[in-house]
Structure 1
Amino acid sequence: MPLFSRRTAPVDDAPPMPRLVEIGEPEREWIDAHVALVADAGADPEDVEQMAVLYERWSAGWRRINPPERDDPNIMLNALGTAFGEYVARRTGLSWRLAEHATGVELALYQARGQVLVHPIGIVAEQWRAEEPSGTFLVEAAERLTQARRLAHGEGRHH
């Protein structure tokens, strides 16, 4: 699965666009609480490079534990993915939505222009499952998403 998708025309094998619902106060509180976990762990949620270092620290620490004794990593994945998503949302036209898929509901970032849909928690979880040791994917994804936003709004073009 790509880090983010842009749907401009239907593709036969593409999954259908999920039903997107505005987030409410409970989801906003959940987002804020998970961003706070990242801050409490020593990473500035306004600095994606610090989040990348935190991913590396948490991932390496978790992998050093004998598998039967490991805690569920979801709290770390949710915290990092949510903080990353909030970082991107504050710098782009993407906003939080609940994406209702056939398999369940998850937080996602969405922008109607261009039908851009990003699953920030999924991005982190996918790299974690692939045992990616480096958190640079967060920096790279943030750069791509913010660059795409600038281009979409006519900023940063050289004539």
Structure 2
Amino acid sequence: MNVVLYQPEIPPNTGNIARTCACTGASLHLIRPLGFSTDEKSLRRAGLDYWDKLDIHYYDNLEELFAEYADSNFYFATKFADNYYDKMDYNEDDFLVFGRETAGLPDYILENQPEQCIRIPMRKNIRSLNLANSVSIVLYEALRQNNWSNLV
């Protein structure tokens, strides 16, 4: 599985997501700009001792990612989707894309690919779930559908 974070802003969220990716073997794809530094000194100071266990990739924009994986399936997490995340059929190499903590994903994604947009059900009038929690919920469903893909 592949987890994509579009312009993540909050270091602890990305750190928690990175730990989840390290534990599950999911690749982590980060779309710049990032709201923090990933240099060795910053990672050490943040206690991210598992960063070297990640399969991590960096891109300057979403289009670069889409071009590199043109034949792949992408699912876009947003509270504006009609499709529930657990009703999709995920493959082992699919991409689960999550937006910025403050602004979500770009509108053109939501408008041009509504059938690939997914949401986690929640109560009305609540802004959103924490990004790291959202990634965990969707990623573990995708892994469950694929018989836990090499997990013990």
Normalising to structure 2: TM-score of the pair?
Answer: 0.25
TM-score normalised by L of structure 1: 0.25
Larger Rg: 1
**Higher relative helix content:** 1
